[in-house]
Amino acid sequence: MTRTPDSRQLAQIKAALFLVCLLPLARLGWAAYTDDFGPNPVEFIQRWTGTWTFNLLLITLCVTPLRTMTEWHWLIRLRRMLGLFCFFYASLHFLSFIGFDHAFEITEIARDIAKRPFVTVGFAAFILLVPLALTSNQWAIRKLGGRKWQELHRNIYLISILACVHYFWLVKATALLWPLAYSAAVALLLGWRVRERRRKAIPVPRFATAKPVKFFKQKPE
């Protein structure tokens, strides 16, 4: 079952994935073209970009568990693109916030980030995403070294928790179903990692019957 695609096939898979990841953007383009953003256009755009940021975050977090379970190790080679698309939609989400809500006025933006807790948390998550996007290239990995790079990129776990808090905090108390569902997905994906870590940390037990090698104090006669 562990058939690995060759480099040509992988390039095709990547191209297809790239196009699929552009679909949410195409939906916005279509709405703009047909002038049909619904009654509250900005709310629609902000929800849409926010939802797809979160979706891509979850999909990115699925790569490692899926790879472990299926042993399709080539899946790891799709992760960067998924992560970058997550950042892309997060950027659109952030842009729609600073642009539509505050017409790019820095003081207004700063005040809003300080005033509304859900904005504060969302902003923190976005700021934490930036270094991950910047170090997503081969050169940065080499420069940082694998271990350091991995440590930095573990921030994605914190970001996913912040994303849950951001979501919970922005909805009405009467509409908790979706944030709950997303948080459950995050809990599942992070929980799996904790379990994996524990599993790998357990030392291999010694054979109960094994005896240490005995050395003679004296040279036998």
Partner 1 sequence: MLIRHPLDIPPSEITDPARYAARRKFIQTLLLAGGAGALGVARGNPPAATPGASLGKLQSSPFSLTDDKATPFKSVTSYGNFYEFGPDKESPARHAHRLRTRPWSITVDGEVKTAKTFAIEDILNWAPLEERIYRMRCVEGWSAVIPWVGFPFSELLKRVEPTGNARFVEFWSLADPEQMPFVRLPLLDWPYVEALRLDEARHPLTILAVGMYGETMPKQNGAPLRLVIPWKYGFKGAKSIVRIRFVEKQPATAWTKAGPDEYGFYSNVNPDVPHKRWSQSHERRLGEFFKRKTLPFNGYAEQVAGLYAGMDLRKYF
Contact 97, 46 (CB under 8 A): yes
Closest contact distance (angstroms) between CB of 175 and partner 1 is 5
Closest contact distance (angstroms) between CB of 174 and partner 1 is 4
What are the residues binding partner 1 (CB under 8 A)?
Answer: 38-43, 100-101, 103, 112, 115-117, 172, 174-175
Closest contact distance (angstroms) between CB of 47 and partner 1 is 11
Rounded Cα distance between 126 and 185, Å, is: 20
Closest contact distance (angstroms) between CB of 34 and partner 1 is 14
Nearer of residues 43 and 151 to partner 1, judged by Cβ: 43
Rounded Cα distance between 117 and 103, Å, is: 20
Closest contact distance (angstroms) between CB of 182 and partner 1 is 17
Nearer of residues 42 and 134 to partner 1, judged by Cβ: 42
Q: Write the CB contacts of 98 (distance below 8 Å, at least 6 apart in sequence).
A: 104, 109
Nearer of residues 40 and 150 to partner 1, judged by Cβ: 40
Through-space distance between the first and last CA atoms of the chain, rounded to whole angstroms: 61
Contact 128, 63 (CB under 8 A): no
Nearer of residues 48 and 85 to partner 1, judged by Cβ: 48
Nearer of residues 47 and 77 to partner 1, judged by Cβ: 47
Q: Write the CB contacts of 74 (distance below 8 Å, at least 6 apart in sequence).
A: 4, 5, 10
Rounded Cα distance between 136 and 140, Å, is: 7
Rounded Cα distance between 166 and 187, Å, is: 15
